[in-house]
């Protein structure tokens, strides 16, 4: 077992704490069908990115912001098939209060709705697409997450499942644990550690108190 000590844990949401794959595919299929476009091209790169950035990359002739708003409208009220990732509730419950947050490419309404739907606790503050000018793979979101926790980036550990998120965390100067839930293991090699499932991550203990506290994570690496 590998261990990491950290001053804060930053979780991506979709694919890490919640399984929303069915809803994401259904949303892009519906939207693309209305536009006469190939949904597969968007779905291929959408995971871990804000919808507007996916649209700019694949369909630069469209109004990215207005189309992203339409995708949000389709997605935010669709919870059919959204599930808790096995081990998410247990892991969050074992972390000290104030030592973790969520950094997601989805909107605040989408993120909070999905977490509530599967019964996960919400951190007091978290980072969503509404809070940044630049989405993943830009480091802005994870740097804001570290600031929320009052932790320096180099002491933080990020738990991610997507290459864009791994790149974001690495650019922010953070260590990354990748969970091989939505991407093949070879696509996650930029991470410091790759685990097969979230249940392969557990809290071993805490040293110190207050701003000097460190959480020790145990990882069953691939």
CATH architecture group of domain 21-76: Orthogonal Bundle (1.10)
Peptide bond into 137 cis (omega under 30): yes
What is the Cα–Cα distance from 125 to 84, expressed in whole angstroms?
Answer: 20
| Sheet-wide strand order for 100-102 | 100-102, 8-11, 156-160, 175-179, 193-195
- Which helix (H) or strand (E) segment holds residue 11: the answer is strand 8-11
Q: Which residue is catalytic, options 14, 161, 192, 200?
A: 14
Q: Is 192 a catalytic residue?
A: no
Q: Which CATH number fits domain 2-20+82-219: 3.30.530.20, 1.20.1340.10, 3.40.50.1000, 3.40.50.720?
A: 3.40.50.1000
Enumerate the β-bridge partners of residue 221: 195
Beta pairing class for 2-6 and 214-219? antiparallel
**Backbone φ, ψ for residue 193 (5° rounding):** -140, 140
Q: Is 14 a catalytic residue?
A: yes
Beta pairing class for 8-11 and 201-207? unpaired
The tens place of each residue's pLDDT in the chain, 222 residues long, gives: 899 999 999 999 999 999 999 999 999 999 999 999 999 999 998 887 889 999 999 999 999 999 999 998 999 889 999 999 999 999 999 999 899 999 999 999 999 999 999 999 999 899 999 999 999 999 999 999 999 999 999 999 999 999 999 999 999 999 999 999 999 999 999 999 999 999 999 999 988 766 678 999 999 987
The answer to whether the predicted template modeling score (pTM) of the entire model surpasses 0.95 is no
Tens-place pLDDT, residues 31-84: 999 999 999 999 998 887 889 999 999 999 999 999 999 998 999 889 999 999
User: What does the domain layout of the chain look like in residue ranges?
Assistant: 2-20+82-219, 21-76
């Amino acid at each position: 077992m590998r261990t990491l000590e950290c001053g804060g844990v930053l979780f991506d949401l979709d694919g890490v704490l919640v399984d929303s794959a069915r809803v994401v595919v259904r949303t892009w299929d519906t939207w693309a069908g209305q536009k006469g476009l190939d949904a597969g091209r968007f779905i291929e790169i959408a995971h871990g990115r804000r919808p507007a950035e996916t649209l700019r990359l694949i369909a630069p002739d469209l109004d990215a912001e207005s189309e992203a708003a339409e995708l949000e409208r389709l997605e935010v009220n669709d919870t059919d098939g959204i599930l808790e990732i096995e081990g998410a509730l247990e892991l969050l419950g074992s972390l000290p209060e104030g030592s973790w947050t969520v950094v997601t490419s989805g909107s605040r309404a989408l993120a909070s709705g999905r977490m509530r739907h599967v019964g996960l606790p919400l951190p007091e503050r978290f980072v969503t697409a509404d809070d940044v000018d630049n989405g993943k793979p830009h480091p802005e979101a994870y740097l804001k997450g570290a600031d929320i926790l009052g932790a320096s980036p180099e002491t933080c550990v990020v738990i991610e499942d997507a290459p864009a998120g791994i790149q974001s965390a690495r650019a922010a100067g953070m260590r990354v644990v990748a969970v091989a839930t939505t991407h093949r293991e070879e696509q996650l090699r930029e991470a410091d550690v790759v685990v097969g499932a979230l249940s392969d991550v557990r809290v071993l203990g805490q040293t110190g108190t207050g701003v000097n506290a460190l959480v020790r994570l145990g990882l069953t690496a691939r």
